[in-house]
Amino acid sequence: MQAKQSVYDYYCKNGMKIDKILNEIDEQGDAHVGSSAQTPIREDAFELSDIEKVALINKDVKHIMETLGLDLTDDSLKGTPQRVAKMFVNEIFAGLNPERKPIASTFENKYKYGEMLVEKNITVYSTCEHHLLPIVGKAHVAYISKGRVIGLSKMNRIVDYFAKRPQVQERMTMQIVQELQKALGTPDVACVVDAKHLCVNSRGIRDIDSSTVTSEFGGAFKEKSVKREFLDYIKLDTIF
């Protein structure tokens, strides 16, 4: 009880300073500043097994819920910490684990297809790294073969892999392009992502209609005519 009181007293004395710091952190998050196209992962990130991570996160989620005043003996809540922990490690942040990276198998372009290949409307489910709220949208990916082609489902899997981690949309868009460039051995890759951020739609400004569009154009896609062709393909109605 004394410890809780001391924290309360500290806040009463320093509340304005704390609020200012939190506001500054919040503003930095909204600014989407990033140091590189690589996800910031510590060197010791994989020293713990997934099972160990689930156990630790379970305890942390339980502590958060109890701090919020929730009764974890209730039948509806008592399993929540474990469910959240497993979801974090095995699902929505599974893309942090390089062992889950899809094998980007490519094949010789024997049919000599030399035009643009576009895979559009790839579903994106990601998580904003500033508030840990969902990012939901579509990715449109294209490449021009330089002798190698990639299975269509691999493009979807690459998008999904980089989406399944705390993300900044700009970084995710770049990571998708860089991974496909590496796999295909060509700079001629492009990606456009159009997504809603619940950190904007459901909190803060609460603008439910806005979405964020990011793009990365490599090689030939930097040419105005090629870029225009790709963007025109995206606008085409899907047959089904």
**Distance (Å, rounded) from C-alpha 162 to C-alpha 191?**
13
CB atoms within 10 A of CB 229: 15
129 is a catalytic site residue: yes
Nearest CA to 139 out of 103, 176, 105, 104 is that of 176
Residue 197, both tokens: 């951020």
Residue 210, both tokens: 């806005």
12 is a catalytic site residue: no
Separation in Å, CA 91 to CA 52, 126, 204, 209: 16, 10, 26, 27
Which of the residues 119, 130, 175, 191 is marked catalytic? Answer: 130
Which of the residues 119, 140, 167, 169 is marked catalytic? Answer: 169
Give pairs for 149-152: CB < 8 Å, separation 24+. 149/106, 149/107, 149/108, 149/109, 149/113, 149/117, 149/184, 150/104, 150/105, 150/106, 150/107, 150/180, 150/183, 150/184, 151/105, 151/107, 152/119
Which of the residues 119, 179, 197, 216 is marked catalytic? Answer: 197
Which of the residues 119, 128, 167, 179 is marked catalytic? Answer: 128
Which of the residues 119, 167, 191, 199 is marked catalytic? Answer: 199
181 is a catalytic site residue: no
Which of the residues 131, 140, 175, 216 is marked catalytic? Answer: 131
Distance of CA 89 to the CA centre of its chain: 14
- Map residue 144 onto helix, strand or coil: strand
**Distance (Å, rounded) from C-alpha 185 to C-alpha 174?**
16
128 is a catalytic site residue: yes
Question: Contact 109/149 with Cβ under 8 angstroms?
Answer: yes
CB atoms within 10 A of CB 170: 16
Which of the residues 119, 129, 179, 216 is marked catalytic? Answer: 129
Catalytic residues: 128-131, 169, 197, 199
